[in-house]
Structure 1
């Protein structure tokens, strides 16, 4: 039986996300991002298309590597200004029943004890439709903004994240028993004190003593997303991640990354199928190939490849403005997004090479065509790239998602590659079919009452 495709809409609480410059298109509404109806309308649209989730990226710094300034970042709104993604979820959950929500939060920007309550609250309010994209950051500007001299060394950021997850698991999974909440009016017992316990943690990076402030939510631990594919990032994903996002330029690279991720999960005592892998893609579709090409050319006239280059500069830590178009670029061992640096070094990318791949202002693989051509390409990524689904980056919003839903979704359904209704229960259960909670083979289970780990 052919694998059913999973879909996330990839977005951010800002104007310019992945495909930069398209905010200037006359039909684009991304500059309305500060309006609540912009987001509730988007959520309703995605629900109509049976998207599995709206994945919201985030950063807590600014892109100031290119030209050593934020001038272009501000002019083109390259993820600046950017608002908090978590604040959007309750409103969108109120107008949907099945759509999941993945929110990005940097482990270095949050106090775990307080953060645990925020995610539990959202899991309650969405009835188990919340996921957390765990990031460790890659911007020196973010570290400086919170009083640090510079970003911590790459692998040590994951060491801190590992410990942060252990503390969060203890709070989410171990502080309250499943039957702690009784809501017994007759005996005046809301929660049984014998079934709620204090969490004590003292480690290298964190020290905490306290009770989790929220009663158990449907999923307890949110669905765990992660995007690191460096060596240390894969090690972290092997232990924790349920969904991994990859940014691969082509199917063969995606296949190699997918196999490494699944092998890592197996080596960590989990199943290869315990991880769902999503590839980042951009799609431009219309009723005919000719119309799709014309739409793409229309979009490209408004896009800013230079803004995309500035974004890439921030991810690699390299100021590409100092290089001529065909000048060889020195790709050293950086402290930023290592997989981006490694790929650029391996392929000998010049400034011209990078710009040529950003006709729509973004770095993701681009599919342009009619519905059949797009569906064929998506199936190839699934079957040959060995991924489970896609993070669809927006172009002109909201029409890029509306077009996809109107043209591609029905065809995928006809082919048996896409669901015709949402499944029951939580986001986790719909993704994996094994219930609302993390399975016993996940390390979080070791923090549950009676598991023997404090």
Structure 2
């Protein structure tokens, strides 16, 4: 039996999410990102294509590393303006029945007590279709605008995030017992206070003494996404993530190396390696003929803003590329920004060395994700190869322009994958975790760290 491919639509509540300049494409609708109807239509489109979820990326700052200021980002709509990704989820959930929603929220800047409440509420409202994409945030502008004098050092952010996860696990999984809610009209008891417990967390970074303020939701803990590529990031993902998004691999061998490394780390962390679904990002460009696909690709490239991409790449890596010769090679310099993006163009690339110019041109269409250009059959071939040979579990489909990338993929590629038996024709279940891992499993597995905390005495949590 062929591996069953999972799919997410990867986007962001902004004008041109991951391809600077593509808002100028004649068919792009990104300027409607503030219109709720735009999001409801997008959710309906992805559900019609039987996608598992809509993955909503986010940052909390402006890209201002390039030329030491934000002007280039503002001029080119490089993820600015940028709206809150969580507020449209309730409306999208009301218009769909099965599609999941993975919202990005920073473990560095959102207090764990509040974040736990927000996601529990959304899990109730969506009937168990919510995921949390855990990030530690890479922009210095986020830190200073949220009251810090400087950015927290990269590895220290992950150490802090590790304790953060203990706090939210205690709130989601262990504060309310499963049968705490009685809703007994005759006795007048809504919830049994003996079955609702303070977590009494006192750690290096967080002090959270009280109990969760939301009763258990369908999934309790939302599905946990993560995108770490650095050494610290991979260790964090292997311990906590249920689904992992990556753009680090440039070819099949690099993908196999990455998936093998993550599964090895998961096993060493005491987890089932198959309990992590790995989603490489891809930018599919599909035509009914090879010539049509190539023409579409060239048109997309012609709209990419080189200067805007320089600003985005500078923000991603923490390096101001305005002072670099375009033909010099990218160097792996340690910064407190995202290590994964820089590693992609340096140490993670086994097949080539990237000049600044080459990195920018590649990064500008889908943040450096793999481009798959061809007929529906050729695109399906590539995805099946990455799944069956590269050990990917699914793909985050990254928009080049919106909603055309999704429309072409759903109309042309999904039927091919379905005919080949590589992709569902109907949803398996109603919750996101069940659609990802199998019907009957709406809750996080017993071997996950969230559940292992149950081994602690009730008084200690």
Q: TM-score range by the shorter chain?
A: over 0.9
Q: Distance in 2 between matches of 1:26 and 1:256?
A: 39
Output one character per residue of 1:404-446: Cα deviation in whole Å (capped at 9) or x when no partner: 1111001100000000001113111221125111111111113
SS for the counterpart of 1:109 is coil
Q: Distance in 2 between matches of 1:132 and 1:425?
A: 17
Q: Distance in 2 between matches of 1:124 and 1:366?
A: 37
Contact in 2 for aligned 1:304/1:360 (Cα 8 Å): no
In the other structure, the counterpart of 2:375 is: 370
Contact in 1 for aligned 2:16/2:401 (Cα 8 Å): no
Q: Distance in 1 between matches of 2:424 and 2:302?
A: 35
Q: CA deviation at 1:43?
A: 0.3
Output one character per residue of 1:263-319: Cα deviation in whole Å (capped at 9) or x when no partner: 111001111101000001101112222211222222222222332232111111111
Q: CA deviation at 1:447?
A: 3.2
Aligned-residue CA RMSD (Å): 1.5
- Among 368, 389, 392, the alignment partner of 1:387 is 392
Q: Distance in 2 between matches of 1:425 and 1:326?
A: 51
Q: Distance in 2 between matches of 1:399 and 1:108?
A: 34
1:268-307 alignment, distance < 5 Å: 268-307=269-308
Output one character per residue of 1:234-281: Cα deviation in whole Å (capped at 9) or x when no partner: 111111110011112222111111111111110011111010000011
In the other structure, the counterpart of 2:90 is: 90
SS for the counterpart of 1:392 is strand
In the other structure, the counterpart of 1:264 is: 265
1:93-112 alignment, distance < 5 Å: 93-112=93-112
Contact in 2 for aligned 1:235/1:264 (Cα 8 Å): yes
SS for the counterpart of 2:200 is strand
- Among 392, 397, 400, the alignment partner of 2:402 is 397
Output one character per residue of 1:171-193: Cα deviation in whole Å (capped at 9) or x when no partner: 11111110111111111111111
Q: Distance in 1 between matches of 2:146 and 2:456?
A: 39
Task: Name which of structure 1's ranges 249-258 and 27-36 shifts more when overlaid on structure 2.
Answer: 249-258
In the other structure, the counterpart of 1:188 is: 188
Q: Distance in 2 between matches of 1:361 and 1:40?
A: 23
In the other structure, the counterpart of 1:45 is: 45
In the other structure, the counterpart of 1:351 is: 356
In the other structure, the counterpart of 1:208 is: 208
In the other structure, the counterpart of 1:338 is: 339
SS for the counterpart of 1:104 is strand
In the other structure, the counterpart of 1:244 is: 244
Task: Name which of structure 1's ranges 126-135 and 293-302 shifts more when overlaid on structure 2.
Answer: 293-302
Identify if the C-alpha distance between structure 1 residues 159 and 450 changes in structure 2 by more than 3 Å, giving closer, same or farther: closer
In the other structure, the counterpart of 1:139 is: 139
Contact in 1 for aligned 2:366/2:398 (Cα 8 Å): no
Q: CA deviation at 1:331?
A: 3.3
- Tell me the number of residue pairs that the alignment of Structure 1 and Structure 2 aligns: 454
Contact in 2 for aligned 1:103/1:132 (Cα 8 Å): yes
SS for the counterpart of 1:352 is helix
Per the normalisation by structure 1, the TM-score is 0.97
In the other structure, the counterpart of 1:26 is: 26
- Among 403, 420, 427, the alignment partner of 2:425 is 420
Q: Distance in 2 between matches of 1:142 and 1:120?
A: 25
Q: CA deviation at 1:385?
A: 1.6
Q: Which runs of 5+ in 2 are unaligned?
A: none
**Correspondence 1:178 to 2:175:** no
In the other structure, the counterpart of 2:319 is: 318
Q: CA deviation at 1:358?
A: 4.4
Q: Distance in 1 between matches of 2:327 and 2:412?
A: 40
Per the normalisation by structure 2, the TM-score is 0.95
Q: Distance in 2 between matches of 1:225 and 1:293?
A: 33
Q: Distance in 2 between matches of 1:82 and 1:36?
A: 14
Q: Distance in 2 between matches of 1:170 and 1:386?
A: 33
In the other structure, the counterpart of 2:447 is: 441
Q: Which runs of 5+ in 1 are unaligned?
A: none
Q: CA deviation at 1:138?
A: 0.8
Q: CA deviation at 1:74?
A: 0.6
Output one character per residue of 1:194-249: Cα deviation in whole Å (capped at 9) or x when no partner: 21111211101000111211011000000000000211111111111100111122
Q: Distance in 1 between matches of 2:367 and 2:235?
A: 28
